[in-house]
């Protein structure tokens, strides 16, 4: 059984016919070919698939595409400015060496964007708690925590 | 002109693509007309396959092909080879059972590959895989290494499930030393089995072109050339020039992506059968079952000391679990990379180690970050710390009494350390960790009702396995050099091709720093290319913290050839003698004059050779180099961990963790610190949270998801206090040693020394979960009653 789903992704309206069981992350990666959103597990533990849906960070592996019908989505591809300039949170990850292999990074950044909106000046403890749903195997989190603190300050509570 | 690049915190060239979702990982590759593979895996740990029924699956929508072990056998597809031959104490070669890519009549672990189903879509492939019916006759399974020798035989040619018994050292002299000892410290422990869990799951896309009669494999690999060599020469019987292996962006490896896996072979082979690309991407559940695991030793270790605390001898007996089959480098991990490190940083004159390697009905075990060296460090540093406590000596002082101080130093376990300064890293760690304030902190913890403990680990590691001839004499079936190529373009910018592979380590930046520094040019003018056998001349890949020491040196050798040729060209252009030409910061100069040619001018002359010494030189400026090191490198350091234990819950928190490492010369401190942070966290994971568990009777993997196998999260680790000291490696031109594994090697012993200190017990099993620690506390309080 297929179903038509329509939503806005990174500011552009998109729609496709998909199987009803298609996960949102599969739709993003396979139908839209936005491969910056990654799949690192099958139990909603790793957070590599995190995107913003109507401004909130969600794990796109944990809902099916049709649940996002009509939603406004932002993926990692939509974060930098149209001219390619990095968003302050992305720049903070670069400056603080908050990434190594880069696989968890898009999920980390998307989660951090949502967190930083309400935490313009977070403590180390708050950042570590905010990362409860995101796994990284490379960095030991040290520089991710530093990146998010710096990025949040640079954002000043605004996306 | 430019600020020095060696030692500079240069931001990474690779970050922009990863931060904007523009990375290209294997699963991001989509080839036209690709089909999708799903593997049918054994749900039994040990069983005979009586019958495989494919009828229903074949009729399932979208299915284009289903293959079993019988198909591979008929097509003469070989089994997966093991790259290191270990010789048994009885002089016989290790037992090397067949390792078929799809099971031949028998399955030997849960997750073993039984069949592959290929369909138009991934969902269709998975749906059809569910319809493959396999009739099994179950056999008794064994998962515990200690019980393997008496269990039901897993392979016909290893009736006692033993791959080899191997030993290193002089047993008689060690036994003699123990008889004369004033004190003997003895520990028995398990080095827990770990599941690597790179966040990117493995993936492979095989594709065949009839037009070229050639294959391309995109694969999550740490060493694409080795993957190609093993697959073509030993499994598929293909010539290498007809197979291209591409390892694009790879999302972490930690050892688990070194090996040639069955899935890689099957999708490559199937792409020709179906004449279309075949893609397989592991899901996390498959990764838990099928990625090579790490560690899993059962060990009895003893240290003999004289009355002054000098180490006299060490005696170690280990049973190592290899899993159901020999993975690519499985055999050398608990032997060559383990027993040879048992001298640690100390002058222990006699060491004997005996290793029994066994097959069990579990996932194959191979190198995982550190690979043998964390296990060795755990043995040495748990023994030393325990001895200090038994002798009521300060653990730092006991270490100092035994440190090696004269280099080069020949250990009794084969290695010769070229250089080091173990006092320097210990002293620096004591200061950075503010150990002088520990007593006060312990008192403060006590006031809060918490138990505080402190633990040390002074590790050594051997990186960049070498030289090839020595490795060969120890059983290696591969060379262990590295290759590099420097291609100078006509206008003077440079592309460097390296056989090392970067999957998070930042080679595109570190290697570019080395090149730009050596050539005296801006780093923006240098690009590093890796991970494609069609671009890179050859490569042994990245593992064992070898990239900068071996791969970096190969590049330096090629750069030196470029400069040498450049001097010849410049001499011609400047009408000077070659011996008068000096190269400095991008300029070829006639010594003692102001006459010079810029690097770019010389490059241009090489490609537009109008005025050129054609009688002496070929045009062009492109050089290759292969580098086979003279020795291992020996990074070392001291780690100090302080934990707080909540006696009510058993929960352990790492209050502070200090690491001072000697990696030799550091090229990019920012990247090196990142490697240490990550390594420490994996080491802390082994100590506190991670432990693979199988059900002993059924052989089912109990820790088969991220909900059951606990990877450390951000809240499980603190900010680390880290620093470096530097004794440059004496036998490579950069003076570098390697930094990738240190954290994972030293951290487990430091953490467990701290926990046992806090609890006042001799040993706690890893992972020291709250439940495990709480049980120890209960036993102690019972003992007091």
- pLDDT bin (cut points 50, 70, 90) of residue B465 is confident
Q: Name the closest residue on chain A to residue B195, using Cα atoms.
A: A137
- pLDDT computed for residue A140 by the predictor: 98
Q: Which pairing describes strands A2-9 and A72-74: parallel, antiparallel, or unpaired? A: parallel
CB contact under 8 Å between A103 and B198, yes or no, is yes
Of A126, A150, A7, residue with least CA distance to A66:
A7
| Nearest-neighbour CA in chain B from A85: distance (Å) | 10
Res B782 pLDDT > 80: no
Residues with Cβ < 8 Å from A67, sequence gap 6 or more? Answer: A24
Q: In this predicted structure, what is the pLDDT of residue B700?
A: 98
Around Cβ B770, how many Cβ atoms within 10 Å?
A: 14
In terms of CA atoms, which chain A residue is nearest residue B252? A101
Distance CA B518, CA B497 (A): 16
Q: Is the peptide bond before B299 cis (omega within 30 degrees of 0)?
A: no
Domain ranges of chain A: 2-77, 88-155
Peptide bond into B612 cis (omega under 30): no
Q: Is A20 on the interface with B (CB under 8 A)?
A: no
The DSSP annotation for B558-619 comes to HHHHHHHHHHHHHHHHTT--GGGEEEETTEEEETTSS-EEEHHHHHHHHHS-SS--TTT--S
d(CA B40, CA B107): 12
Nearest CA in chain A to B281: A39
Mean pLDDT of all residues in B204-211: 98
Is the pLDDT at B642 greater than 70? The verdict is: yes
B547-556 pLDDT tens trace: 999 999 999 9
* Selection from B592, B517, B525, B598 nearest residue B552 by Cα: B517
CB contact under 8 A, B27 and A93: no
What is the structure's pLDDT at A1? Answer: 79
A131 touching B, CB under 8 A?
A: yes
Q: How confident is the model at residue B466 (pLDDT cuts 50, 70, 90)?
A: confident
The total of other beta-carbon atoms located within 10 Å of residue B590's CB is 18
Task: Point out the residue among A42, A90, A140 whose CB comes nearest to the CB of B681.
Answer: A140
Which range (A92-106, B355-369, B458-472) has the least confidence? Answer: B458-472
Per the listing, tokens 């999550």 go with: B220
| Closest chain B residue by Cα to residue A89 | B19
In chain B, what residues touch A10 (CB-CB under 8 Å)?
A: none
- Distance between CA atoms of B757 and B471, rounded to whole angstroms? 39
**What residues have CB less than 8 Å from B282, skipping those under 6 apart?**
B201, B202, B203, B263, B290, B291
d(CA B542, CA B104): 32
Pairing of strands B350-358, B409-410: unpaired
By Cβ distance, the residue of A137, A143, A145 closest to B198 is A137
pLDDT in tens, B153-187: 999 999 999 999 999 999 999 999 999 999 999 99
| Four-way CATH pick for B18-139+200-251+257-290: 3.40.50.720, 2.40.33.20, 3.40.50.1370, 3.90.1170.50 | 3.90.1170.50
In eight-state DSSP terms, residue B736 is B
Please state, in angstroms and as integers, the Cα–Cα distance from residue B367 to each residue in B189, B294, B505, B624, B741, following that order.
Answer: 20, 6, 18, 30, 11
Question: Using omega within 30 degrees of 0 as the cis cutoff, is the peptide bond preceding B767 cis?
Answer: yes
- b/e code B156-176 from CB counts within 10 Å (16+ = b): eebeebbbbbbbbbeeeebee
| CATH for the B481-627 domain, from 3.30.365.10, 3.40.225.10, 1.10.3720.10, 3.40.50.720 | 3.30.365.10
Q: From CA B377, how far away is CA B379, in angstroms rounded?
A: 5
Radius of gyration over alpha carbons of chain B, in Å? 27
β partners of residue B280: B204
Strands of B232-371, DSSP E: 243-246, 278-281, 297-305, 311-321, 350-358
Nearest to B322 by CA among B360, B352, B354, B348: B360
Closest CA to A100 of B626, B152, B485, B252: B252
Nearest to B123 among A19, A48, A134 (CB): A19
How many contiguous H segments (helices) and E segments (strands) does chain A have? 5, 5
User: What token pair was written down for B684?
Assistant: 């802390």
Residue A4, chain B, CB below 8 Å: the answer is: no
Alpha-carbon distance of A157 to B439, in angstroms, equals 42
The mean predicted confidence, pLDDT, of chain B is 97
pLDDT (tens place) for every residue of chain A, 159 residues total: 799 999 999 999 999 999 999 999 999 999 999 999 999 999 999 999 999 999 999 999 999 999 999 999 999 999 999 999 999 999 999 999 999 999 999 999 999 999 999 999 999 999 999 999 999 999 999 999 999 999 999 999 998
pTM over 0.95: yes
Contact A109 B681 (CB under 8 A): no
CB pairs under 8 A between A and B: 181
Q: Is A159 on the interface with B (CB under 8 A)?
A: no
Search chain A and give the residue with CA nearest B714: A128
Q: Give B784's pLDDT tier (boundaries 50, 70, 90).
A: low
* Closest chain A residue by Cα to residue B21: A36
**Chain A interface disruption, residue of B9, B14, B18, B203, most A CBs within 10 A:** B18
Q: For the domain bounded by A2-77, which CATH number is listed? A: 3.10.20.30
Between CA B206 and CA B263 the distance in angstroms is 10
| Section B571-582 average pLDDT | 97
Q: What is the DSSP letter of B767?
A: S
Residues belonging to chain A:
159
B24 neighbourhood in chain A, CB within 8 Å: 35
DSSP 8-state assignment for residue B474: T
Local confidence band at B1 (pLDDT 50, 70, 90 cut-offs):
very low
In 3-state terms, what secondary structure has residue B373? Answer: helix
Q: Which helix (H) or strand (E) holds B673?
A: helix B669-688
In eight-state DSSP terms, residue B48 is: E
Choose between B479 and B617: higher pLDDT. B617
Task: Give the pLDDT mean for B4-14.
Answer: 96
Question: Is the distance from CB of A132 to CB of B714 less than 8 angstroms?
Answer: yes
Which of the four pLDDT bands, split at 50, 70 and 90, describes residue B785? low
Q: Give span(s): CATH 3.90.1170.50, chain B.
A: 18-139+200-251+257-290
Distance from the Cα of A88 to chain B's closest Cα (Å) equals 11
DSSP B633: B
Q: What is the pLDDT of residues B131-144, one digit of tens each?
A: 999 999 999 999 99
Residue range B297-465+631-784, CATH number: 3.30.365.10
The Cα–Cα gap between B41 and B117 comes to 11
Q: How many residues does chain B have?
A: 785
Residues of B in contact with A102 (CB under 8 A): 14-15, 17-19, 23, 249, 251, 504
Fold for A88-155, please state it: DNA polymerase; domain 1 (1.10.150)
pLDDT at residue B583 is higher than 70 = yes
Q: Which of B11, B200, B715 sits opposite A101 (nearest CB)?
A: B200
Q: Mind listing the pLDDT tens digit for each residue in B403-424? A: 999 999 999 999 999 999 999 9
Query: How far lies B545's CA from each of A40, B198, B480, B550, in Å?
Result: 25, 17, 13, 9
Min Cα distance A71 → chain B (Å) is 21
For B680, which residue in chain A has the nearest alpha carbon? A140
Of B199, B671, B707, the CB nearest to A103: B199
Best mutation target among A62, A137, A146, A150 (most B Cβ atoms within 10 Å) is A137
What's the confidence (pLDDT) of residue B284? Answer: 98
pLDDT tens digit sequence for B503-525: 999 999 999 999 999 999 999 99
Please compute the mean of the pLDDT values over residues B26-55 and round it to a whole number.
98
Nearest to A132 among B25, B678, B713 (CB): B713
**Is the CB of A86 less than 8 angstroms away from the CB of B682?**
no
Tell me if residue B139 falls in helix, strand or coil: coil
Mean pLDDT within B627-640? 97
pLDDT at B496: 98
DSSP class of residue B136 equals: E
pLDDT value at residue B2: 56
Helices then strands, each counted (H, E), chain B = 19, 28
Rounded Cα distance, B36 and B779, in Å: 54
Least confident of B418-427, B474-483, B590-599, B703-712: B474-483
Is any Cβ of chain B less than 8 angstroms from the Cβ of A34?
A: yes
């Amino acid at each position: 059984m297929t179903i038509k789903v329509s939503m806005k992704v990174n500011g552009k309206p998109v729609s496709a016919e998909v199987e009803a069981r298609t996960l949102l992350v599969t739709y993003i990666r396979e139908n839209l070919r936005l491969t910056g959103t990654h799949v690192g597990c099958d139990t909603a533990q790793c957070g590599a698939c995190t995107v913003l849906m109507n401004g909130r960070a969600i794990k796109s592996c944990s809902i099916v595409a049709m649940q996002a019908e009509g939603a406004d989505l932002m993926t990692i591809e939509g974060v930098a400015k149209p001219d390619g300039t990095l968003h302050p949170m992305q720049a903070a990850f670069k400056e603080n060496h908050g990434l190594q292999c880069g696989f968890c990074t898009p999920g980390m950044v998307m989660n951090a964007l949502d967190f930083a909106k309400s935490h313009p000046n977070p403590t180390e403890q708050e950042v570590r708690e905010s990362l409860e749903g995101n796994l990284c195997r490379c960095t030991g989190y040290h520089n991710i925590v530093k990146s998010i603190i710096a990025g949040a300050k640079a954002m000043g509570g605004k996306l | 002109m430019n600020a020095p690049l060696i030692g500079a915190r240069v931001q990474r060239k690779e970050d922009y693509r990863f931060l904007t979702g523009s990375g290209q990982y294997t699963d991001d590759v989509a080839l036209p007309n690709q089909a999708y593979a799903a593997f049918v895996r054994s749900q039994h740990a040990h069983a005979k396959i009586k019958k495989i029924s494919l009828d229903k699956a074949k009729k399932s929508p979208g299915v284009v092909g289903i293959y079993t072990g019988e198909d591979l056998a008929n097509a003469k597809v070989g089994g997966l080879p093991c790259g290191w031959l270990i010789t048994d104490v009885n002089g016989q070669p290790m037992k090397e059972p067949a390792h078929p890519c799809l099971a031949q009549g028998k399955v030997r672990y849960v997750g073993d590959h039984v069949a592959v189903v290929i369909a138009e879509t991934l969902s269709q492939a998975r749906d059809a895989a569910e319809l493959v019916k396999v009739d099994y006759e179950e056999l008794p399974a064994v998962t515990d290494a200690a019980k393997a020798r008496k269990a039901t035989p897993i392979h016909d040619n290893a009736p006692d499930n033993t791959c080899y018994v191997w030993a290193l050292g002089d047993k008689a002299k060690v036994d003699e030393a123990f008889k004369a000892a004033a004190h003997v410290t003895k520990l028995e422990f398990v080095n827990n089995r770990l599941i690597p869990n790179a966040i990117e799951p493995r993936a492979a896309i095989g594709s065949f072109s009839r037009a070229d009669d050639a294959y391309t494999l995109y694969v999550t690999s740490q060493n694409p050339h080795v993957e190609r060599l093993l697959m073509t020469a030993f499994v598929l019987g293909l010539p290498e020039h007809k197979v291209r292996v591409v390892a694009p962006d790879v999302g972490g490896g930690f050892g688990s992506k070194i090996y040639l896996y069955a899935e890689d072979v099957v999708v490559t082979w199937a792409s020709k059968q179906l004449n279309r690309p075949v893609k397989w991407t592991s899901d996390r559940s498959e990764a838990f079952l099928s990625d090579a695991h790490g560690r899993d030793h059962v060990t009895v270790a003893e240290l003999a000391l004289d009355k002054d605390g000098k180490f006299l001898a060490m005696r170690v007996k280990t049973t190592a679990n290899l899993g159901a089959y020999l993975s690519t480098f499985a055999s050398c991990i608990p032997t060559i990379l383990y027993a040879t490190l048992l001298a640690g940083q100390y002058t222990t004159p006699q060491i004997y180690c005996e290793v029994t390697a066994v097959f069990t009905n579990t996932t194959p075990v191979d190198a995982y970050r550190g690979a043998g060296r964390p296990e060795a460090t755990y043995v040495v540093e748990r023994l030393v710390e325990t001895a200090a406590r038994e002798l009521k000596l300060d653990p730092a002082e006991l270490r100092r009494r035994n440190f090696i101080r004269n280099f080069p130093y020949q250990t009794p376990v084969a290695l010769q350390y070229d250089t080091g300064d173990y006092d320097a890293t210990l002293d620096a760690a004591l200061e950075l960790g503010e150990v002088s304030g520990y007593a006060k902190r312990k008192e403060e913890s006590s006031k809060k009702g918490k138990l505080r403990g402190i633990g040390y680990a002074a590790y050594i590691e051997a990186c960049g396995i070498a030289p090839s001839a020595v490795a060969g004499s120890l059983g290696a079936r591969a060379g262990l050099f590295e290759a590099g190529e420097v291609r100078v373009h006509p206008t003077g910018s440079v592309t460097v091709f390296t056989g090392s592979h970067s999957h998070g380590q930042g080679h595109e930046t570190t290697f570019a720093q080395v090149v730009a520094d050596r050539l005296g040019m801006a780093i923006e003018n240098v690009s590093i290319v890796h991970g494609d056998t069609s671009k890179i001349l050859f490569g042994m890949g990245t593992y064992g913290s070898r990239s900068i020491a071996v791969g970096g040196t190969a590049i330096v050798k090629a750069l030196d050839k470029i400069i040498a040729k450049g001097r010849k060209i410049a001499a011609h252009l400047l009408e000077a003698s070659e011996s008068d030409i000096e190269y400095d910061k991008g300029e070829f100069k006639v010594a003692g004059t102001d006459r010079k040619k810029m690097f770019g001018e010389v490059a241009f002359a090489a490609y537009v050779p109008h005025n050129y010494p054609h009688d002496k030189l070929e045009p062009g400026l492109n050089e290759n180099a292969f580098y086979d090191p003279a020795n291992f490198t020996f990074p070392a350091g001291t780690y100090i961990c302080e934990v707080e234990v909540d006696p009510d819950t058993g929960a352990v928190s790492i209050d502070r963790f200090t690491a001072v490492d000697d990696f030799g010369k550091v090229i990019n401190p920012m990247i090196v610190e990142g490697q240490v942070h990550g390594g420490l966290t994996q080491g802390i994971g082994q100590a506190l949270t991670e432990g693979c568990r199988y059900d002993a009777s059924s052989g089912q993997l109990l820790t088969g998801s991220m909900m059951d196998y606990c990877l450390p999260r951000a809240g499980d680790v603190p900010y680390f206090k880290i620093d470096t000291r530097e004794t440059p490696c004496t036998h490579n031109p950069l003076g570098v040693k390697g930094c990738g594994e240190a954290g994972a090697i030293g951290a487990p012993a430091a953490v467990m020394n701290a926990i046992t200190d806090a609890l006042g017990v001799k040993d706690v099993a890893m992972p020291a979960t709250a439940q495990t620690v709480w049980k120890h506390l209960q036993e102690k309080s019972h003992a007091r009653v």
